[in-house]
Structure 1
Amino acid sequence: MCRRACSTPDSLLSRFMQHDKLHMDHLWRPGDIESTRSRAGALTIPRTATPRKSYMSDGFLAALSWPSALAFVLALVVVVLGLVIWSIRRHRDPRLVIDCDAPIAELLPSLSGLTQGTVYEGNAVELLANGAFFDAMFEEIRAATCSVHFETFLWKDGVLGTRLVDALVERRRAGVPVRVLVDADGGKKMGEDAARRLREAGCRLEMHHPSHVRHIGVFNERDHRKLVVVDGKVALVGGHCIVDSWLGDGQDRKHVSDLGVRLRGPVVHAVQGAFSENWVEDTGEMFVGDAVFPPLERVGEVAVHVASIKPEGSPPAVKILHHLVVCVARKRIRIQNPYFLPDGEAIDALCEAAQRGVDVRVMVPSTEASDMPMVQHAAHRNFHLLLAGGVRIFEYQKCLLHQKVMTIDGAWCAIGSSNFDDRSFETNDEITLGLRDEALAAQLDEIFERDTRDCIELQADAWARRGLWHRCKDNALYAFNELL
């Protein structure tokens, strides 16, 4: 027979008093109560009690005035938002240590794969120097029958801009769809008349990331690409801007020296895809069909891959490409770039290449010839490390040297819009072509050698003796190198 346990009145009272004591101990401090004891018992009865003080009433915020508390909360919000943005944008930089003995001519699948691209075989490439780039551009635009897509960073009102507007308007009135994409910051001086004429003729003109609160999170991300795609069959890529100083032949400091290429063949699809990336972002329009992506046959022997992607959480493709090819070079590296500010890992990679016997030479514009002397001073801050590591540096005196080109071992070369600095490698939208073409690499090496005649080569001992004021400017401006 089972017996059900039951509680007696005494046991219930005992439990109640024990619970009540715990509850009172939680609410009241020992010194907050007065006790009365009867002669026969020890029952404690609270007479007067002082509640515990609120933590918040004695806390940090309570000690602040309302304006100060509000400022503190706002500052905390800013810090938290900054950490959120940093966590979204941060990525692990690649280790620039490559264990590979293969020549670069055999590494195109690796180079394109690591930069999220594709190797396109069977292309024809034509190198275009200085004003000849625009001659080719206008030739292709005038011949357009299906579509014209134009993208640039810098456009200033002038003779060149007027010629371009005339050409685009003429094609649009002939029934050819025309899309024009200009960076909003670089296009501030393109002129209201140019924009009005393009839009009145029916051209689609879009300004990338204009000054607006909805773009506050991406306003520093500029569209630095310079490209033209005509009928989806021909593309021009380089460093040329729509500014009158790019006309001519880089003959003096009123003009600019620059290089670009004209492409025909399957790789034009990749350049068209790069244009569509920002076009879709700015307009939402996705263009399709043979007018923009026609079937493309082999027309030459050059293999090309395109680096333009900026994946979330990973280094941008242009950064991986420029750093990676330095690590696999065996014989020689030639770099011509207007804004050369390599980070610490790239400096180490260039110096290690020189120490393993690679002939490493870099050409930049002099401070006097540059359009942005502040950038040159920021670059100077680490030149002593490169010189000590065996890298040869040449400063071009004749004019602004604006081409962004590299050659590796006389077999592979890069050309496009990317500077060798953090802004291009981390922030801007860029495009760089990687080309396996010994003939083109030889042309670029020849241009480098020719341009050395207008250069002063920096010497490590003389560079170490540069003036105190020069050093101060170098160090001060380097602190802002990611914003320059």
Structure 2
Amino acid sequence: MADHWFDALRPDGPGLLTGVLLLAVVLLVLFIWSIKRHRDPRLAVDCDAPMAQLIDSLAGLTHGPIIGGNAVEVFENGAFFEALFETIAAARHSVHFETFLWKDGVLARRLVDALVERRRAGVEVRVLVDARGGRKMGKAAQRRLCDAGCKFEMHHPSHIRNIGVFNERDHRKLVVVDGQVALLGGHCIVDQWLGEAQDRDHFRDIGVRIRGPAVRTLQYAFSENWIEETGELFVGEAVFPPLPDAGNVAVHVACVKPEGSPPAVKILHHLVICLARQRLWIQNPYFLPDAEAIEAFGRAVARGVDVRIMVPAAEASDMPLVQHAAHRNFGKLLDAGVRIFEYQTTLLHQKVLTVDGVWCAIGSSNFDDRSLETNDEITIGLHDAALARHFEAVFERDARHCVELDAASWARRGRWHQLKDKALFMFNELM
């Protein structure tokens, strides 16, 4: 036996080679982790100023300036797509379309028809779809787009060159037309997003259409992943035109992912917990805050903030396993005084924040580690009291379709429920 181990550890033995390979793998994993990791923001802000006085700080820390002079329209459920098709049909120079989830169906075919029609009318059309989210869009749709002359790309397709970034998905939902109008929110190109959220087969979501100077920054956001995949630089007034004021809404865009620093969307979501002084209301389909955020929610309640969270019930969600993982920390939040509402009718998919009735945000970001650490996301902050009140009214209307949880009843939920919550939470960073 001793001779066997001696032979294995000889310079030309198999044991030494295996050890060297294992060491190389470990070092490679550590090297990749050190490059990809982001530091978490400290969730402590020593400031008592009201939110309205801190908008510049919020924008500055999320790597985006405040841009005034914008008009913002809100669209719920299937009405968003009517605004989308109306905007695409009016395109004269360019249509830039970016999305995560695209599945073949009535909506997808109508979208292809609209994009092909504009391309045949001489409009430059660029389409970027996440490779994982677009697995079911169908080859026919891709062929029709390409045959018509649309420029089509998949983001991070399965290829050896993408092995280091394959887990990084493009979760944005963004459309920019003529560099003058943009639409964004949570809507996916899937038939379940049509309708009026009337049942489990028709999802609940909210999107916005923006006109004004902020569209230039949204065009930049589209260009980021487009250039990564194609190397193409698009220039000129067809894509970056002069943008006069279109309204009175101040906008800032959070989408940047600096190396080593927390992504802008994470800073934004965590910072508003610290800055809220009266109300913090959140609607989000996948709500898995980390331990520091949970403590920050508790501190917000302790200083008198009305903190309300609305999520879909596990039975109504398209990903019930994620909801059960989220349940693991509901007890801590409820015990801290956070109010939690579970939407019963269908998947509640909008990602909306409102703070103190003066500021609100909407975009593609879920409140979980995948969105706030890994994915490419986009969230826009809106400094406008009328929009904040509008989204608070939406929350109150949606609350009629919710069951509000209470700490005592939640603590008595079944053992199997609790075991499932704890087991699934172990995989929360992968969900």
Q: TM-score when scaled to structure 2?
A: 0.97
How many angstroms apart in 1 are the aligned matches of 2:136 and 2:56?
A: 41
1:107 paired residue number? 54
Deviation track 1:45-86 (CA, whole Å, cap 9, x = no partner) reads xxxxxxxxxxxx998962799443333222111100011111
Distance 1:442 1:60, change over 3 A: farther
Q: Which moved more, 1:188-197 or 1:61-70?
A: 61-70
1:235 paired residue number? 182
2:100 paired residue number? 153
Q: How does 1:445-464 map to 2 (within 5 A)?
A: 445-464=392-411
* DSSP 3-state at the match of 1:334: strand
Corresponding position: 1:415 with 2:362 = yes
Question: Deviation of residue 473 (structure 1)?
Answer: 1.1
- Choose the corresponding residue for 1:98, options 21, 45, 48: 45
Corresponding position: 1:389 with 2:342 = no
Q: Which amino acid aligns with 1:131?
A: G
1:209 paired residue number? 156
1:128 paired residue number? 75
2:352 paired residue number? 405
* DSSP 3-state at the match of 2:113: helix
Question: Deviation of residue 187 (structure 1)?
Answer: 0.2
* DSSP 3-state at the match of 1:237: strand
2:382 paired residue number? 435
Q: Which moved more, 1:102-111 or 1:160-169?
A: 102-111
Q: Which amino acid aligns with 1:433?
A: I
2:305 paired residue number? 358
2:314 paired residue number? 367
1:164 paired residue number? 111
Q: Which amino acid aligns with 1:358?
A: V
2:222 paired residue number? 275
1:264 paired residue number? 211
How many angstroms apart in 1 are the aligned matches of 2:7 and 2:241?
A: 67
1:304 paired residue number? 251
1:175 paired residue number? 122
Q: Which amino acid aligns with 1:463?
A: W
* DSSP 3-state at the match of 1:257: coil
Q: How does 1:318-329 map to 2 (within 5 A)?
A: 318-329=265-276
Question: Deviation of residue 286 (structure 1)?
Answer: 1.0
Distance 1:385 1:172, change over 3 A: same
How many angstroms apart in 2 are the aligned matches of 1:336 and 1:330?
A: 18
How many angstroms apart in 1 are the aligned matches of 2:144 and 2:244?
A: 36
Q: Which amino acid aligns with 1:180?
A: V
Q: How does 1:29-48 map to 2 (within 5 A)?
A: none
Distance 1:73 1:252, change over 3 A: same
* Identity, % of aligned positions: 70
Q: Which moved more, 1:461-470 or 1:262-271?
A: 461-470
Following TM superposition, the consecutive aligned residue runs of length 4 or more in structure 1 with deviations greater than 4 angstroms are 57-61
Distance 1:59 1:331, change over 3 A: farther
Q: Which moved more, 1:468-477 or 1:175-184?
A: 468-477
Whether the 8 Å CA contact 2:8–2:14 is kept in 1: the answer is no
How many angstroms apart in 2 are the aligned matches of 1:422 and 1:399?
A: 24
How many angstroms apart in 1 are the aligned matches of 2:262 and 2:324?
A: 26
Q: Which moved more, 1:360-369 or 1:449-458?
A: 449-458
1:70 paired residue number? 17
How many angstroms apart in 1 are the aligned matches of 2:18 and 2:394?
A: 58
Deviation track 1:200-246 (CA, whole Å, cap 9, x = no partner) reads 00000000000111101000000000010000000001000000000
Structure 2 segments unaligned to the other structure (5+ residues): none
Whether the 8 Å CA contact 2:9–2:15 is kept in 1: the answer is no
Q: Which amino acid aligns with 1:216?
A: I
Deviation track 1:401-444 (CA, whole Å, cap 9, x = no partner) reads 00000000010001000000000000000000000011111111
Q: Which moved more, 1:450-459 or 1:262-271?
A: 450-459
How many angstroms apart in 1 are the aligned matches of 2:393 and 2:193?
A: 21
How many angstroms apart in 2 are the aligned matches of 1:262 and 1:91?
A: 32
2:327 paired residue number? 380
2:91 paired residue number? 144
How many angstroms apart in 2 are the aligned matches of 1:87 and 1:398?
A: 43
Question: Deviation of residue 282 (structure 1)?
Answer: 0.4
2:140 paired residue number? 193
Deviation track 1:130-152 (CA, whole Å, cap 9, x = no partner) reads 11110000001001001000000
Corresponding position: 1:482 with 2:429 = yes
How many angstroms apart in 2 are the aligned matches of 1:187 and 1:429?
A: 15
* DSSP 3-state at the match of 1:126: strand
Q: Which amino acid aligns with 1:411?
A: V
Q: Which moved more, 1:96-105 or 1:419-428?
A: 96-105
How many angstroms apart in 2 are the aligned matches of 1:277 and 1:210?
A: 16
Whether the 8 Å CA contact 2:38–2:373 is kept in 1: the answer is no
Larger relative contact order (C-alpha < 8 A, sep ≥ 6)? 2
* DSSP 3-state at the match of 1:256: coil
Report the count of equivalent residues: 428
* DSSP 3-state at the match of 2:428: coil
How many angstroms apart in 2 are the aligned matches of 1:442 and 1:64?
A: 72
Q: Which amino acid aligns with 1:242?
A: I
Question: Deviation of residue 171 (structure 1)?
Answer: 0.3
